[in-house]
Structure 1
Amino acid sequence: MPLEADGRTRVRLSELVALRARVAKAALPRLESRAMRAGQQSSRLYGRGMDYAESRVYQPGDDVRRLDWRLTARSGRLHTKLFQEEREGRLLILLDTHESMRFGTRARFKSVQAARAAALAAWYAVRAGERVGLMEFGGGDRLLRPQSGPRGALAVCGALAEWDGARARSQGEPLSDALLRASRLMHGANRVLLISDGLSCDEAAHGRLLDLTRKAGLRVLVVADALELSMPAPGRYPLEHAGERREVVLLGERQRREFQQLLGAGQARLNEQAQRLGLPHRTIDTASDPVDAVIALLAPGVRR
């Protein structure tokens, strides 16, 4: 018998749909006026167009004629200017559905928080005139092609709830493989939002992240549990996995620090990769409101 969609351990569709109101009421950055008139959003197409969009850390293969010398001088690191042309934008949400996401000690599972963030991103995208699609990795290989308007966001919300309720069992998928698959199945997406706890982030992911940035504007949202972000207080912690209950006793400072470092290795690794590549990234825990982090990542002109 399937578990009830309680919004804590299972994704609740009604909650994802209701998040539309949160985006509608949020004070969003002003959109491009030309895009609003055309019912579209200006998209970042590297090396094309005449309008400056943003700058990012220089990457091998970038056109040296596009170097941002002012930002390079201020930061001490080479930066490249990106330009935009006006056309319909497309956002692809790359969602981690590994079993590691089905964990949480505060408010809800990481999988539920990730779904909430993905739904917010979908509502934000369609409000900005973008098409929005969804691709999962780790628990299956399902893909929802980018669609426009409220129907597109509703389709994403429906897929999030359906995929969570009928999660496929698998051996997992390294992040590098998922990124390669995403680069082949983007369906014209010019922006990608990666939502993950980072535990699947392997050594090869660095190169694949770099490759993907040459095709689309890549943003990273890391979802972590409180125990993965800071050293726990001394105590006894009951944990359940695959129907088995166990108790972890954490008393000494060294023991608690090593426990936190072990649990938090994934989020630390993914954040470090994003930092090295100069990718806009944010981290949220399972109890926080993800709306500010999502808007900060997807707002026009965001850098880091």
Structure 2
Amino acid sequence: MFDSRVAVQFERLMAMRHGHRAELTSSRSRKINQLIGKYRSSKKGRGLDFSEFRQYQLGDDIRSLDWRVTQRTGVPYVRLFSEEKERPVVICVDQRKTMFFSTVDTMKSVVAAEVFSCLSWQTIRNSDRIGAVILNDSSCACFKPRNSVAHLSRIFKTLVDCNQSLLNQEGKGATLDSASTFNDALNTLHKQGLKGASLILISDFSDLDDTTLRFLSLLQRHNDVSAISIQDSFEQPVHFTDQIYLSDGYQQVSVDENFNAQLEGLNRRLVSSQAKLKQRLQSQSIVLDTSGSHLKQLTTQLSGGRRVSK
């Protein structure tokens, strides 16, 4: 049995069908609906939910007249409705070697997988279709959007295989072209010709480059693109004053104050990548950490920072 902080289990992902339902469904935040599919059409007409009253205008459907308000005011009024439309949700989740990292509690790869599961179940509950692109260092597995538990379970099995395979890469670093793997996945999404979809990217975006930004721009033309960035506290500005030891489970290295210059360069690149991502996606990005409270953080940020009661 694997430590749940290091690798995900299929049963854990399936059990999340009920585990965080209350947190996400109890919030009426528009940001949640935008992220996982449901949205309100800007067009007013006969739809699902009442929106407002408005004075009758030439060309309005007379079937929309509200006779009670008309009689009370002496002026013809119509009822307006906002239509709730469905759109597919496609989540791209990063399971490359660079995501097999944490200095706090939970591996980035596990955080990404559990966030994917949480959002996928919410999508299914909304009667929307869920699709996925799952990345590892050598390939990506693509699943077209569908709405069924059987379909989601197949995605989970592939996700678990990719996640647990990280444990078996003894001493192997990430491939040199791992950045192109991520960009190839974005290119695959672009070639699918998706329109009106909600695309969610879950990664640490440590290798974001100009090609990545170009693909994001292309995808944004016809879809809503959001990013969930997974960060570890070690990736924040830090300086060493004493000697410490770091390990990937197979090899060990000592680090002291002489490493600070290299670390500052790494921190600058990471900060630059996050700034570019935020600028490209504007408000459609959130950051989660590896402290083990990622699902609570997800709920809080999607609800606009409000505490969501269970």
Evaluate the alpha carbon distance shift between residue 87 and residue 265 of structure 1 in structure 2; reply closer, same or farther with a 3 A threshold: same
Question: 3-state SS of the aligned residue for 2:149?
Answer: helix
Identity of aligned residues (%): 19
RMSD over aligned Cα atoms: 3.5
2:199 counterpart of 1:192: yes
1:27 Cα offset (Å): 4.8
* Separation in 2, partners of 1:133, 1:24: 20
2:246 counterpart of 1:249: no
1:22 Cα offset (Å): 3.0
Question: 3-state SS of the aligned residue for 1:108?
Answer: coil
Residue number among 100, 106, 109 corresponding to 1:108 in the alignment:
106
Alignment correspondent of 2:21: 24
Evaluate the alpha carbon distance shift between residue 268 and residue 215 of structure 1 in structure 2; reply closer, same or farther with a 3 A threshold: same
Residue number among 120, 126, 129 corresponding to 1:128 in the alignment:
126
Alignment correspondent of 1:215: 222
1:299 Cα offset (Å): 7.0
1:201 Cα offset (Å): 0.7
1:232 Cα offset (Å): 5.2
State the TM-score, normalizing by the size of structure 1: 0.69
1:215 Cα offset (Å): 2.2
Alignment correspondent of 2:179: 173
Residue number among 293, 298, 306 corresponding to 1:289 in the alignment:
293
Alignment check: 8 A CA contact 2:37 2:197 kept: no
Alignment check: 8 A CA contact 2:186 2:216 kept: yes
Give the number of aligned pairs: 254
Alignment check: 8 A CA contact 2:108 2:290 kept: yes
Please list every run of 5 or more consecutive structure 2 residues that lacks an aligned counterpart in the other structure.
Answer: 46-81, 305-310
* Separation in 2, partners of 1:223, 1:249: 26
1:118 Cα offset (Å): 1.0
* Separation in 2, partners of 1:118, 1:264: 28
* Separation in 1, partners of 2:154, 2:40: 25
1:219 Cα offset (Å): 0.6
Evaluate the alpha carbon distance shift between residue 44 and residue 242 of structure 1 in structure 2; reply closer, same or farther with a 3 A threshold: farther
Question: 3-state SS of the aligned residue for 2:178?
Answer: coil
What amino acid is the match of 2:104? R
What amino acid is the match of 1:111? S
1:26 Cα offset (Å): 0.9
Evaluate the alpha carbon distance shift between residue 206 and residue 288 of structure 1 in structure 2; reply closer, same or farther with a 3 A threshold: same
Alignment correspondent of 1:88: 86
1:185 Cα offset (Å): 3.5
Question: 3-state SS of the aligned residue for 2:134?
Answer: strand
Deviations 1:152-204 (A, max 9, x none): 44333322212212359854133433311222236667011101111221122
Evaluate the alpha carbon distance shift between residue 145 and residue 276 of structure 1 in structure 2; reply closer, same or farther with a 3 A threshold: closer
Evaluate the alpha carbon distance shift between residue 21 and residue 9 of structure 1 in structure 2; reply closer, same or farther with a 3 A threshold: same
Deviations 1:45-68 (A, max 9, x none): 9xx9558xxxxxxxxxxxxxxxxx
* Separation in 2, partners of 1:281, 1:297: 10
What amino acid is the match of 1:154? S
Alignment correspondent of 1:55: none
Evaluate the alpha carbon distance shift between residue 298 and residue 158 of structure 1 in structure 2; reply closer, same or farther with a 3 A threshold: farther
Greater Cα radius of gyration, structure 1 or 2: 2
Runs of 4+ in 1 over 6 A off after TM superposition: 186-189, 296-300
Deviations 1:111-150 (A, max 9, x none): 1111111111111211222111210235222112222143
Evaluate the alpha carbon distance shift between residue 20 and residue 261 of structure 1 in structure 2; reply closer, same or farther with a 3 A threshold: farther
Alignment check: 8 A CA contact 1:235 1:250 kept: yes
Evaluate the alpha carbon distance shift between residue 249 and residue 293 of structure 1 in structure 2; reply closer, same or farther with a 3 A threshold: same
* Separation in 2, partners of 1:162, 1:194: 19
Please list every run of 5 or more consecutive structure 1 residues that lacks an aligned counterpart in the other structure.
Answer: 52-83
